Amino acid sequence: MDDCSQYMIEDEDGNFITFLANPNDINLSHYIDRYVEVVDGGEYQCIECSAAIIQSINLSNDCLYPVACFSEPCFVAPPCQINTPVDCTDNYCGGCYADFYDLEGNLVDCYDISIEECSDLYGVSFGMCDMWMGFALINGECQGVSGCGWQVDGVDYSDAFFDSILECQSECIEDELTCDEIESQYSMLHLEEYASCIEDSDCNAIWGDCSVGLGDCHYSVNNIFDYNQSSNLLENWIGNDCTDGVCDCLPLPNAICVDNQCDLTYCDTPNPAGCFSNGCSDGYECIDFGNTNYEGFCVSSSCSCSEEYLYESYWICDEDCNGGTCVPEEPQSGDLCVFDYNLPGLHWPGFIDCNGECLQYDYNEWLGDGWCDDGWSYSFNCEALNFDDGDCINNCNLGDVNDDGTINIIDIVLIVGCILDENNNCQCSDINSDGTIDVMDIIIILDVIINS
Task: Kindly report, residue by residue over 55-74, the tens digit of the pLDDT.
Answer: 999 999 999 999 998 889 99
Q: What is the pLDDT of residue 306?
A: 87
Type of residue at 175: D
For every residue of 62-126, DSSP letters joined together read --SSB---SS-HHHHSPPP-SSS-EEEEEE-BSS-EEEEEETTS-EE-SS-----TT---TT---
3-state secondary structure (DSSP) of residue 233: helix
Assign 393 a pLDDT band (cuts: 50, 70, 90).
low
Given a cut of 80, is residue 426 above it in pLDDT?
no
CA dist list (Å): 361 to 296, 338, 352, 364: 12, 9, 9, 5
52 contacts 19 by C-beta, under 8 angstroms: yes
d(CA 42, CA 21): 10
Type of residue at 152: V
Assign 370 a pLDDT band (cuts: 50, 70, 90).
confident
Q: Mean pLDDT, the chain, as a whole number?
A: 84
Type of residue at 423: N
d(CA 88, CA 101): 6
Looking at residues 169-196, what average pLDDT do you find?
Answer: 84
Q: What is the pLDDT of residue 218?
A: 92
Given a cut of 60, is residue 395 above it in pLDDT?
no
Q: What is the pLDDT of residue 72?
A: 92
Given a cut of 70, is residue 422 above it in pLDDT?
no
Q: What is the pLDDT of residue 366?
A: 86
Q: What is the pLDDT of residue 220?
A: 92
- DSSP 8-state code for residue 309: S
Please state, as a whole number, how many other Cβ atoms lie within 10 Å of the Cβ of residue 385.
22
Name residue 316's beta-bridge partners: 304
Assign 27 a pLDDT band (cuts: 50, 70, 90).
confident
Q: What is the pLDDT of residue 326?
A: 93
Given a cut of 70, is residue 424 above it in pLDDT?
no
Q: pLDDT of 322-359, one tens digit each?
A: 899 999 999 998 899 998 766 666 688 999 988 888 98
d(CA 150, CA 5): 43
352 contacts 332 by C-beta, under 8 angstroms: yes
% of the chain surpassing 90 pLDDT: 14
User: Which of 240, 248, 251 minimizes the C-alpha distance to 211?
Assistant: 248
For every residue of 51-63, DSSP letters joined together read EEEEEEEEE----
d(CA 386, CA 118): 61
Type of residue at 219: Y
Given a cut of 70, is residue 376 above it in pLDDT?
no
* Structural domains of the chain in order of their starting residue, each with its CATH number: 7-59 (no CATH), 177-248 (no CATH), 257-366 (no CATH), 397-451 (1.10.1330.10)
- DSSP 8-state code for residue 195: S
d(CA 399, CA 451): 14
Instruction: Give this prediction's pTM.
Output: 0.42
Residues 6+ apart with CB under 8 A from 239: none
Looking at residues 76-95, what average pLDDT do you find?
Answer: 86
Given a cut of 90, is residue 219 above it in pLDDT?
yes
Q: What is the pLDDT of residue 435?
A: 66
d(CA 43, CA 53): 6
336 contacts 344 by C-beta, under 8 angstroms: no
